[in-house]
Amino acid sequence: MNASILTWLTLLPLAGAVVVLLLPGRGRAPQIFSLLLTLFLFVLALHLPAHFNYQQHGFQYELNIPWISNPAIRYHVGVDGLSMWLVVLVSFLAPLGVLISWRAIADRKREFYALFLLQQTAMYGVFVALDLILYYAFCELSIVPIALLIGMYGRTNGRRAAIKFFLYAFIPSALLLVGMLWLYAQTGTFDLVTLQQQLHGWSSGAHATGLWLTSLAFLVAFAVKVPVFPLHGWLRDGLSEAPTAIMMILA
């Protein structure tokens, strides 16, 4: 259970999104199924703090298996004392998002709840991924359903807000990817735990300049995604146009 729980949390919403698309479009079947699934995921997520060893340092509930041999990308997931609570927060907000949308979303309900559940998979993946490329994949995946939901269910000018959000979120990710590729070129790994060990003491020496530039690339990419002033231009439009459930995620 401990070795696979993060995988279940990450992939069950994806499977649920597929099921929602197969349900009847009329009635409340999409809402009911999505609510039951998100409540189950919340209960499942509570297993993490209930069985977490608070005296142990490092990551727990780890699963680390080879995925792609060249480049060396692994399916490596785990949580520490910080990311564990972020996973619990995601699972707590999900059923609230379904309940808030219960009457607010009257049209294309299957599409809404399928995209909402896909977003849950992306958010879980962001907080549990311990391989940089795996993290990058989930991070970019999170952009797509939010942009589509803003564009489809925006209040007045959803399409414009969706495009603005997508561009602000996607373009800085190129810097993030370049930084990750430089780290891989220097170390031969995307694994976060291994990188932490290898990069210790790199603040001086031959790699100091490259590491500084890589850190700057990470900083700029995350500053836009957070967003940090004055890179927050997309947030106002996104919050004003997004459905309430998506506003919760963005905020």
pLDDT at residue 79 greater than cutoff 90: yes
Euclidean distance between CA atoms 9 and 125, whole angstroms: 9
Tokens 């919340």 belong to which residue? 42
- State both tokens at 167: 């561009």
CA 150 vs CA 69, 90, 154: distances in Å: 37, 19, 5
For 145-190, how does the pLDDT look when each residue is reduced to its tens digit (9 = 90+)? 988 998 888 777 778 888 888 888 888 888 899 999 998 988 889 9
pLDDT above 70 covers a percentage of the chain that reads 97
The pLDDT score that the predictor gives to residue 201 is 66
Counting Cβ atoms within 10 Å, is residue 220 exposed (0-12), middle (13-18) or buried (19+)?
middle
∠ Cα 226 234 162 (to 5°): 115
CA 166 vs CA 19, 55, 111, 148, 238: distances in Å: 27, 41, 19, 9, 10
For 36-75, how does the pLDDT look when each residue is reduced to its tens digit (9 = 90+)? 999 999 999 999 999 999 988 889 999 999 888 888 899 9
pTM attached to this predicted model? 0.90
The pLDDT score that the predictor gives to residue 75 is 94
Sign of CA dihedral 184, 188, 189, 193: negative
Euclidean distance between CA atoms 205 and 171, whole angstroms: 31
The pLDDT score that the predictor gives to residue 1 is 66
DSSP state of 27: T
